Amino acid sequence: MSDRHPPGGPAGPEEERPAPLIPSRAARHQKQRRLFGGRGAKPPPDPSAPARPEPRRVEPPRPEPPRQEWRREAPPGREWPGQEPPPQGPPRQPQGPPRQRRPRPAPGGPPPGVGDRPGDGARRPRVRAVPRPPGRDRSGPPREGPDGEPRRRPARNAPQLQVPKVGDLRGSNLGLAGALVAVAAVLVLGVNALPSAKPPAAPVTRDPYSARWVCPLLPAQTTAVTIANVGTAPAALRTTVRENGKRSAPKIKQLAAGATQRLSLKPAREGLVQVEAFSAPVVVSAPGLGCAAGPGNRWWLPASDTRFGTDTKVIIANPESEPAVVDLVPHLSSGSIRSDDREVFIKPGEAQVRTLGDDAPAGLKPSIEVVARAGRVVVGAAVSSGDKPPTLLPAQGAAKPSWSFAGGLSGGGSQTQVLVTNPNATPLQVDVQVTTAKGTFRPPGEFGEPIANGGTAELDIPALDVKGPFAVQVRSLTGAAFVAALRVTEGNGNQTTSRIDLGTGQAERGWLVPGAPGGGELVLANLSSDELEARFGDLTAGGAGAGQPVRVPPGRLTVKKVPEGIENLVVQAATAGLVAAPRDGGPVVPGSAIGGLPAGGPVVPGPAAAP
């Protein structure tokens, strides 16, 4: 609502003064605000003019359809800003004739009446909300104008967004935010313009390397340990020989690629030898008890014996820096026997020898499961009878659903047995196949009998038509994992010897025969469905070829002589399915056990050894 006069002035002609309208509450509010510094007072009227009521402005009619006036009402107990509280009594009637509302300025144009008074051109019109009078019934009839037509509300125009000027943003929150954004953009551009620093050079990585190998040592027993570097770079070795009651410092040595180091150890008491390798993979092997690529918490000894006159001793070595608590669990054909009084305590860096007759029933041939309740260990066993040399038993460190061996022997009074241990809670059924130079077949015998849960079985391979070496593959019919080993006994009467072949539990492509004697024989079996081409290589010469490739048909076996002058024989094939073993027994390492942990960064020492 505005207090400016129409073009005719307060004393203008009558036709220029339209009919009065009902004044609004906003108009009364504007009169009161003039007392507190609003717009300037109106100029005094001309004294010569007759006294007239104050003229009222009307807006020209607009060609719009009539609509009802709607005014928002404040919620109960709340007042809009700039609105007077509603009166407690009846609504107050306006005094004097009604005044016309000030027309809304057209979009983009000056407000009506601008320029009528000095200073109006530089003043921005003030738009104030017109509150709805309290107590009005919205459903009542609309207000009418002087001509009886419903009062029309000016049409609203959609607000138009304009880019604010720098002067308008100065001193406001929006201006501060814009300034911060501009400063951040400048900083980002400046940082990008600076030359970027080069990342540190990646450390040189080497071939995969094994963290450590551990071999248990029996007292008064000579053990030949072979360390072969199977990598392409020199290996840093740290070898530690421990004997109960003695302390020895580790020995540091560099082993060239393809080179071999041999140790001959005969401790007075039980102990262990630990070899830690860095920068290149190595393989550590020993006949008899063998060596393991690190300690573990579960091992199986498949060929113990507690019959009268036979003694089985289990050696448990603890290479860790904390004590180990171990249980010995015998597995019989009827199941396992568990007892709480079979725990063995091993100090850090020491070894213990336990006679099996104290923990297993006498007169049986059980399989022994070694379970580490605390810590990690490496185990082995020795079976002795009378004055005969003891039979050394390496431990099997995993359970697999299938096992393959190439060390079987038929004829000449030899006997081959598959030793199976079922660690599952359900019976186990296995399938046995034999591979000879003529083909692969199932030997006659009762091999389909279920093996009790927790039980063991000795599966005898009958005499075959083909004399000489053969391979054996045994697998679970249900896919359950089990433990197996191959035992070969040669000789007659009291002049018998036995050896254990641990074979492999997965398809292999390569084998290492450390310390292979020149002129010896190597058994190669192809257990796959495709022809394999086996290549011999000399580890010392970096795996270079030694002799002509050997073709092995699928499901066949062949025997080849080891070329002369080879210290460590490497046998490799293009595809998996190759099984190898020395004909007369001896150390052989599958390719899956070579390499160990990959060296993905700087070469660092492995797990700390026991003090």
pLDDT tens, position by position, 39-77 = 444 555 555 555 555 555 555 556 555 555 445 555 555
Torsion of CA 136, 139, 140, 145, to 10 degrees: 90
pLDDT beyond 60 at 123: no
Distance of CA 142 to the CA centre of its chain: 73
Enumerate residues 6+ apart whose C-beta is below 8 A from 157: 107
Helix (H) or strand (E) holding 179: helix 173-193
Q: Which one-letter amino acid corresponds to residue 403?
A: W
Q: Name the pTM for this structure.
A: 0.62
Measured in degrees and rounded to the nearest 5, phi and psi for residue 176 equal -65, -40
Region of poorest pLDDT, from 173-177, 196-200, 283-287, 543-547: 196-200
More confident residue, 607 or 361: 361
Calculate what percentage of the chain has a pLDDT beyond 90: 31
Question: Regarding the domain with residue range 506-599, which homologous superfamily does it belong to in the CATH classification?
Answer: TM1070-like (2.60.290.11)
pLDDT given at position 492: 74
pLDDT given at position 474: 96
What does the alpha-carbon distance between residue 292 and residue 221 come to, in Å, rounded to a whole number?
18
Calculate what percentage of the chain has a pLDDT beyond 70: 59
pLDDT beyond 50 at 605: no
Residues of the chain with CATH 2.60.290.11: 212-285, 402-501, 506-599
Residues 587, 514 contacting (CB under 8 angstroms)? yes
What does the alpha-carbon distance between residue 98 and residue 32 come to, in Å, rounded to a whole number?
17
Mean pLDDT, the chain, as a whole number? 74
Kindly report the CATH class assigned to 212-285: mainly beta
Cα angle value 144/147/149 (rounded, 5°): 45
- Sign (positive or negative) of CA dihedral 318, 324, 329, 330: positive
pLDDT given at position 514: 83
What does the alpha-carbon distance between residue 123 and residue 216 come to, in Å, rounded to a whole number?
102
Residues 314, 395 contacting (CB under 8 angstroms)? no
More confident residue, 474 or 104: 474
Helix (H) or strand (E) holding 182: helix 173-193
**If you ran DSSP here, which 8-state letter would residue 168 be given?**
H
More confident residue, 170 or 534: 534
Overall fold of domain 402-501: Hypothetical Protein Tm1070; Chain: A (2.60.290)
pLDDT beyond 90 at 253: yes
Instruction: Quickly list DSSP for 306-329.
Output: -STTEEEEEEEE--SSS-EEEEEE
Residues 489, 430 contacting (CB under 8 angstroms)? no
pLDDT beyond 80 at 141: no
| Mean pLDDT of all residues in 417-435 | 93
| Mean pLDDT of all residues in 471-482 | 95
Region of poorest pLDDT, from 76-85, 459-468, 530-539: 76-85
Across 110-246, the runs of DSSP E, i.e. the strands, are 212-217, 223-229, 235-243
What does the alpha-carbon distance between residue 324 and residue 214 come to, in Å, rounded to a whole number?
16
Sort strands 415-421 and 483-492 into parallel, antiparallel or unpaired: antiparallel
